Structure 1
Amino acid sequence: MPPADAPSAAPLDADTVLATLDPEQREAARALTGPVVILAGAGTGKTRAITARIAHGVLAGVYVPQQVLAVTFTARAAGEMRTRLRALGVEGAQARTFHSAALRQLQYFWPRVVGGDLPTIVPQKARFVAEAASRLGLPTDRTTVRDLASEVEWAKVTQTHRDDYERVVTASGRVAPAGLAPAEVARLLGAYEEVKRDRGAIDFEDVLVYAVGLLADNGEVAAQVRRQYRHFVVDEYQDVSPLQQSLLDLWLGDRDELCVVGDPSQTIYSFTGATPAHLLGFRRRYPQATEVRLVRDYRSTPQVVALANALLARGGAAGGSRPLELVAQRPPGPAVRYVEHADETAEADAVAKEAARLIAAGTRASEIAVLFRTNGQSEAFEQALADAGVPYVLRGGERFFERREVREAHLLLRGAARSGEGDEPASDAARAVLSTMGWTPEPPRAGGAARERWDSLSALVRLGEELAESRGQASLTDLVAELDERAAASHAPVVEGVTLASLHAAKGLEWDVVFLAGLVEGLVPISFAETDEEVAEERRLLYVGVTRARERLVLSWSRARGRRPSRFLEGLRPGGGSQSDRPGGLSGRGEGGGSRRERRVLASVCSGCGQALSTAAERKVGRCADCPAAYDEELFARLRDWRLRLSKEQSLPAFVVFTDATLAAIAQAMPRSAPELARVPGVGATKLDRYGEDVLALVRGEDPAENLAEK
């Protein structure tokens, strides 16, 4: 383990701060001026390194704390950075998200430059997107609106203007959402802006857009911001979007006092417009930059680190970069386990029982996580944990500070601090005040809402205890100030419960025990990842999941409906791919359990020659590109004719309806019902709803156009 953070009770100096670091972290902290790029692998202490760098710069007299701006991507990460800086004796340095920093500047300059109040920021854009779609006569169902809202965000963060949208998506091969033509989406982008203007509102991305416009168009505003901030630190730089980079460039001006930190192997947000290009091209932009590599992994056991390294070694590096090879620093731990189950219910039940056993043996529930690819997978685990009496927390659910009991507790604590109890020790005062709301040291026997309420109040009590430990004589007033700051930044304290989260939502977090569940083809990688780069990003997403585990890691999947384990596990499981665990609930089926048709779904080997399949298109049809077709070629021809006719009628590119690989998979599977068609890779819920009846008619040998005429 790395040296512990220096205690805040003793005065710190620059040398003391450096003494807490390993050699590479110390090198990063000493690089105080000019451009610096820190390539930091998972668990290598990057937050420790960059906060120590800021503290070292301040204590050495190189930085004025008020002139330092550190930006990251989540309120939680920014809050953690501020907490660490305070522990190192640094007050005044700013640690914010891009949006928070931009909003603060807009709120200050808008009345002075534009006049009046900043327009209202809408928390969700779905309602405005639906209204814009309605004005254009486009579909307004929930799925379409959600997809269009995501595309609006993508266009903004990539700085793709509506007039350029059609050209950009066509040139890049990007598929417009919801089965719409690029020209229709371009019109939607314009209509959406009109709706916002009519309502006098702006959205989340507009905060960055307006900040960029204000700084670019007003030299005095830009000069004032640059006088205020002279040193910049950007965390998670591999996730910067073109819009965020534009804002950063305007903050910098012609200076190069910039330290960026990131890991190309953790690039998992390209679908939102994020790109590792800025990180990978940093040395080209700043040839004189200092580069430091952090590879000592203090988070995970050697067993977990070995799996993480092996996973990336088989592909997944972003932009042609070479992945950082982590070096484990912790003592050995339990072997990574690979578990196969008969179906998803059995998998969820097994995870819940194991979690209950670990908690009974002394592991805190908050140190256990169940991670999965899509939010829709959470339901089975929620039910299984509830049945097992295990408390859980769903990341992405109701925000902590919006819970009724938390709002009430916050008000009571603030009132107590103002009424003369402000000097009381934080931990004692929190227990006393919250006991008036019914909080007790022991949890209630009942589950459900009563347990959730107790968990919320207990999180506040623990925060008081942690504050007392980290700050010595922390008072109730200090606790209330900490809660105010955390509420403003949405930086929630830890709630005692097993965490359920998608792999994307787990980024930046860590637990003692991690269950990676649902690792089957079609989910990991996700079925719509077809290009080599899309599949590589899915591999990086699994890497992020693996590196969340400190001590215990369990990877699991089920064989239901002919599912196959994720291709990413090939060559990693013990025994050349055999399972190390087979729970008793597993049926006696062989490797190819299920019907012949089910076995062909996202196959990993060719049904003709038996060779490994290398592309998503080959896996969809279950054969190599050079092997003879194993599908009904007559049906495939009918499907292509139908698709061509439909694409012309709707002015859509043919591949937007279905790709050739998906049509071949349909012609091979010969689905006779909607559920069977839904299992074909490339047929999602939206396309099933839109084209399902036509496709099933074609499989039956009927002409969809004639059927429609008869109706």
Structure 2
Amino acid sequence: MINLDHLNDQQRAAVTAPLGQVLVLAGPGSGKTRVLTQRIAYLIEGMGVRPHNILAVTFTNKAAREMQHRLQSLLGDDGEGVWLGTFHANCARILRREAQYLSFDNNFVIMDSDDQQALVKRAIRELNLDEKLYRPTSIHAAISTAKNNLITPADFPTQSYRDEITKRIYERYQSLLRDSNAVDFDDLLLETVRLLVDNPHVRERYARRFEHILVDEFQDTNLVQYELLKLLASIHGNLFVVGDEDQSIYRWRGADYRNMLRFEQDFPACQKILLEQNYRSTQTVLDAARAVIDRNKHRTRKHLFSERGAGERLVLYEAVDEHAEAAFVVDTIQQWVNSGKARGSDFAVMYRTNAQSRLLEEAFLRAGLPYRLVGALRFYGRREVKDLICFLRLVHNPDDEVSLARVINVPPRGVGEKTMVALQLAARQAGLSAGQLLIELGEKGEQSAHWGRFSGRSILPLADFGSQLAGWRRAVAEGLSLPGLFDRILLDTAYQEYIDDGSNEGKERWDNVQELRRLAYEFREGGLTAFLENLALVSDQDTLPEEAGNAATLLTLHAAKGLEFRFVFIIGLDEGLLPHARSKDDPEEMAEERRLLYVGITRAKDRVYLVRAHQRSQYGGPEIQEPSRFLEDLPESLIQRQGQRRHREVWESPESRALRSRVLSPNHRPASAALIEPRFHPTDRVRHPVWGEGIVMESRIQDGDETVDVFFESVGFKRLVASLANLEILPKG
């Protein structure tokens, strides 16, 4: 029997909760992974549930691996058989098993983000639409939102002409996916729900099997995921969900924290348990985080407490500008590291948008401090890695036209755009996919009925590639291992000669190929299908090495979820950055921005540095920044102000103060300060040398200068210092 003595009272109540529906509200650092794994162990050892009858769902592969490792430590081989994985991985597993009920085969490929964008662009082109009017990223987001809300192309609502166009692109996009025997991430969920709804006997089979369903990060579920859980729990009704509405930060990709509220409404008899003891942070960090999040509505208040003591106050640093902001971060880290009291890996620097990392990276490079960047160009998105993945995907599924288009001329073999168009047209006329037609040309040569469709100049490289593809597929059918296939593709295509030109960049690209090859060896037992599925479902955090060495981590607040560090810097605490300008007029968006800051603060074990800049460079010069409204929620007793000192509305740096004292020495001081009259007035039309024309919304005298709020037609709202902005007042009328 497992030992529960090491659990606190709230954790023990959750682990041993009676059957039925259980909602565990787990504050940050409260041991939710421990509770989930102990609950599974308790079901198996304490209640006699067979592992085969337990489904455990996570949101990242990393979380699934950690849970698997802990279960192995707790139960050994007795835990074998639990269905444990991400929503997408579990759905892919079900779809491959039940392919006879679907519109695609069980060897379907999962299109990654880049491939999805490529297909949307292709759909737009094929419909003769303008990409500037119908931006692929925007259209893809609309399609994704529809799928997350269980809306198929046929059901897509059309209330405007743009909706009509989006629906047409959605329909074509789905056709292109099916032509390639492919699905996107959202299809994995949507098609599984449709499978279970349309086939009651299939639903009953899975619902009977999964006597107990456990869900991690429940606050990040969307509508389709919630419906899926209800379908799978429709017979036994044992749903154990763990989440925290205060950490719901993925609204932009469909996550809906209100599923926590829906759970209580749909299951009024559910047991609700709060995990409030934090094992990560000091009490001061927790109190600051609570001061920020308690302003949000539609949530259950949690009284987070820690036995680690009060700890140090949060540092609130205001820099002169964004360059000084980055310098403060790097200088502080360097001082800690040089003192021997911390390692580089103890530090994380978090920001709202990826663009904010540039100045930080430059500052780290100048200081010679190592860093790692999370969520930048992912390893799997690099050109050479993507090439090899597409070769492998094509061997797995010759119908994959996205992969075919990428590698048919890699390395260059004389297959241009005209030849590709001819190939696709011939394939369509023959009722085949382009990949199937290539294989036939490669195997039958001039005996193929389709040989005469191509000119002598274009047919040879097509047939040559088709012959290679047929040979790779034949070798796999005869038992060639995944590493063996990988090496054969490299050899047959002379890929090393193509990618490694002897330069440092070439060597780095070949090193990346070797790293992918090493990963292929890890899947020599699982095979090609498992390997490709793992690659398609990997996330930014999954590529983060377990050991950071001596490097500080740079990452967005969104990417920080689930991580922890001794020291956390959060930069850009200015209106328009955090909270983001997009959230200004949307209460739900603003609430999510507040949750983002809460997540960032609660990543810290020992110390938090909140950093902002008095001014930031924009296209036409410096622009005064307003402090983030969230800073007003922090009690003065919890923070230690550094950097510029407050003088009414503006803080003054030591450098500025020294300069002022020299300039305004007794011999230089004026007898009295001149009274400044505002030059600009509301409704004035002005012209800026970069942003063009705009309208003055407000003007005020602030610390001896005029500050002007202007709405520009080209870039929107800007706040400017009049003496620096070079604004021209336009004649009225």
Under a length normalisation based on structure 2, what TM-score does the superposition of the two structures give? 0.65
What is the aligned partner in structure 1 of residue 587 from structure 2?
532
Which structure is larger by alpha-carbon Rg, 1 or 2?
Answer: 2
Deviations 1:473-504 (A, max 9, x none): xxx999999xx999777445323221111111
Alpha-carbon distance in 2 for matches of 1:25, 1:457: 45
What code does the residue aligned with 2:92 have? L
**1:109: Cα distance to partner?**
1.6
Match of 1:568 among 592, 609, 630: 630
SS of 1:19's equivalent in the other structure is coil
Map Cα deviations across residues 21-42 of structure 1 (whole Å, 9 max, x no partner): 1110000000152111101111
Deviation at 1:293, TM superposition (A): 0.7
- 1:262 is matched by which residue type in structure 2? G
* Distance of 2:695 and 2:129 partners within structure 1: 26
What is the aligned partner in structure 2 of residue 322 from structure 1?
A: 300
Q: Closer, same or farther in 2 for the Cα pair 1:342/1:246, shift >3 Å?
A: same
| Alpha-carbon distance in 2 for matches of 1:514, 1:387 | 21
The answer as to 2:218 corresponding to 1:237 is yes
- Equivalent residues in 2 for 1:113-262 (5 A)? 116-124=105-113, 125-140=116-131, 144-162=135-153, 165-166=156-157, 181-262=162-243
Matched, 1:22 2:17: no
- Classify 1:501/1:159 alpha carbon distance in 2 versus 1 (closer, same or farther; 3 Å): same
SS of the residue 1:337 aligns to: strand
> What is the one-letter code of the residue matched to 1:591?
E
The SS at the match of 2:147 is helix
Partner residue of 1:615? Answer: none
Shift of 1:267: 1.7
518-527 or 491-500, which deviates more: 491-500
Distance 1:322 1:133 in 2: 45
**Structure 2 CA distance for partners of 1:387 and 1:215, relative to 1, 3 Å:** same
Q: Distance in 2 between matches of 1:294 and 1:663?
A: 52
Q: Which has the higher strand share?
A: 2
Aligned to 1:97: 86
CA distance in 2, matches of 1:448, 1:118: 35
User: Does the 8 Å contact 1:296/1:326 carry over to 2?
Assistant: yes
Of the three residues 598, 601, 613, the one matched with 1:546 is: 601
CA offsets 1:35-91 (integer angstroms, 9 cap, x no match) = 111011111111111111111111114321121111121111111111111111133
Match of 1:335 in 2: 313
1:559/1:115 CA distance change after superposition, 3 Å: closer
Cα-to-partner distance string for 1:556-615 (whole Å, 9 max, x where unaligned): 0001120021000014153799x7101xxx599873489xxxxxxxxxxxxxxxxxxxxx
Identity of aligned residues (%): 33
Aligned pair in 2 of structure 1 residues 117, 93: CA closer, same or farther (>3 Å)?
closer
Contact 1:666 1:680 in 2 (8 A): no
Residue in 2 that maps onto 1:591: 649
Deviation at 1:265, TM superposition (A): 1.1
Q: State how far apart, in whole Å, the 2-side matches of 1:452 and 1:342 are.
A: 40
In the TM superposition, residue 272 of structure 1 has moved relative to its aligned partner by: 1.7
1:680 aligns with 718
Q: Which amino acid aligns with 2:286?
A: V
Aligned to 1:430: none
Residue 347 (structure 1) aligns with: 325
How many Å separate the matches in 2 of 1:284 and 1:74?
27
Q: Which amino acid aligns with 2:82?
A: A
1:519–1:138 CA distance, 2 compared to 1 (3 A): farther
Counterpart position of 2:59: 73
The CA deviation string for residues 165-207 of structure 1, in whole angstroms up to 9 with x for no partner, is: 5568x9xxxxxxxxx9444433433333243344443211111
5+ unaligned residues in a row in structure 2: which ranges?
Answer: 387-503, 516-520, 616-622, 653-679, 687-693, 700-707, 720-726
Structure 2 counterpart of 1:367: 346
Q: Secondary structure at the match of 1:680?
A: strand
> CA 1:545–1:534 in 2, change beyond 3 Å: closer, same or farther?
same
Q: How many residues align?
A: 538
CA contact 2:281–2:604 (8 Å) conserved in 1: yes
- Asked if the contact 2:197/2:203 (under 8 Å) is kept, the reply is yes
1:523 aligns with 2:564: no
Report the Cα distance in structure 2 between the residues aligned to 1:192 and 1:254, rounded to whole angstroms: 36
In the alignment, the residues of structure 2 paired with residue 449 and residue 310 of structure 1 have an alpha-carbon distance, to the nearest angstrom, of: 51
Distance 1:73 1:40 in 2: 16
Task: Letter of the 1:226 partner, please give it.
Answer: A
Contact between 1:338 and 1:573, CA under 8 Å: does it hold in 2?
A: no
Is residue 696–residue 710 contact of structure 2 (8 Å, CA) maintained in 1?
no
Which amino acid letter does the alignment assign opposite residue 283 of structure 2? P
Per the alignment, in what secondary structure is the counterpart of residue 241 of structure 2?
A: strand
Q: Deviations over 1:495-522 (max 9, x none)?
A: 3221111111111111111001111000
Tell me by how many angstroms 1:115 deviates.
7.2
Q: SS of the residue aligned with 1:211?
A: helix
Tell whether the 8 Å contact from 2:27 to 2:275 is kept in structure 1 after alignment.
yes
What letter corresponds to residue 625 of structure 2 in structure 1?
R
Matches within 5 A, 1:49-88: 49-88=35-74
Alpha-carbon spacing, 1:391–1:287, altered in 2? closer, same or farther (3 Å): same
The 3-state SS of whatever aligns with 1:390 is coil
- Code of the residue aligned with 2:241 in structure 1: it is V
SS in 1 for 2:135: helix
| Residue matched to 2:356 | 377
Q: State the Cα distance separating 1:302 from its structure 2 match.
A: 0.8
Deviations 1:355-399 (CA, angstroms, capped at 9, x unpaired): 222233242323211000011111111111122222211111355
Task: Call closer, same or farther: CA 1:477–1:74 in 2, change over 3 Å.
Answer: closer
Matched residues in 2 for 1:223 and 1:181: separation? Answer: 40
Contact 1:24 1:294 in 2 (8 A): yes
Query: Does structure 2 retain, via aligned residues, the 8 Å contact 1:111–1:118?
Result: no
* Contact 1:132 1:191 (C-alpha < 8 Å) held by counterparts: yes
- Asked whether 1:581 is paired with 2:642, we answer yes
For 2:612 and 2:165, locate their aligned partners in 1 and report how far apart those are by CA, in whole Å. Answer: 40
TM-score of the superposition, structure 1-length normalised?
0.67
Give the stretch that moved more between structures: 374-383 or 154-163.
154-163
Distance 1:453 1:31 in 2: 53
**Structure-to-structure mapping, 1:247-646, within 5 angstroms:** 247-313=228-294, 315-317=295-297, 320-360=298-338, 361-399=340-378, 490=538, 491-492=542-543, 493-494=545-546, 495-496=548-549, 497-529=551-583, 530-560=585-615, 561-572=623-634, 574=636, 580-582=641-643, 591-592=649-650, 632-633=682-683
Contact 2:645 2:651 in 1 (8 A): no
How much is the aligned-residue C-alpha RMSD, in angstroms? Answer: 4.1
Q: Would the alpha carbon gap of residues 480 and 209 (structure 1) be closer, same or farther in structure 2, given more than 3 Å must change?
A: closer
Give the aligned residue type for 2:117.
A
Q: CA deviation at 1:121?
A: 2.1
- Distance across 1 between alignment mates of 2:48 and 2:232: 20
Q: Kindly state the Cα deviation for residue 664 of structure 1 after the two structures are TM-superposed.
A: 7.8
Partners of 1:340 and 1:139 in 2: CA distance: 45
- Counterparts in 2 of 1:145 and 1:384: CA distance versus 1, 3 Å: same
Which residue identity lines up with residue 336 of structure 2 in the other structure?
Answer: L
| Residues 477 and 185 of structure 1: CA distance in aligned 2, closer, same or farther (over 3 Å) | closer
CA contact (8 A) 1:515 1:553 kept: yes
Q: Helix, strand or coil: the match of 1:70?
A: strand
Partner letter of residue 316 of structure 1? N
Amino acid at match of 2:186: E
Assess if the C-alpha contact under 8 Å between 1:367 and 1:511 holds in 2: yes
* 1:236–1:702 distance in 2 versus 1, CA, 3 Å: farther
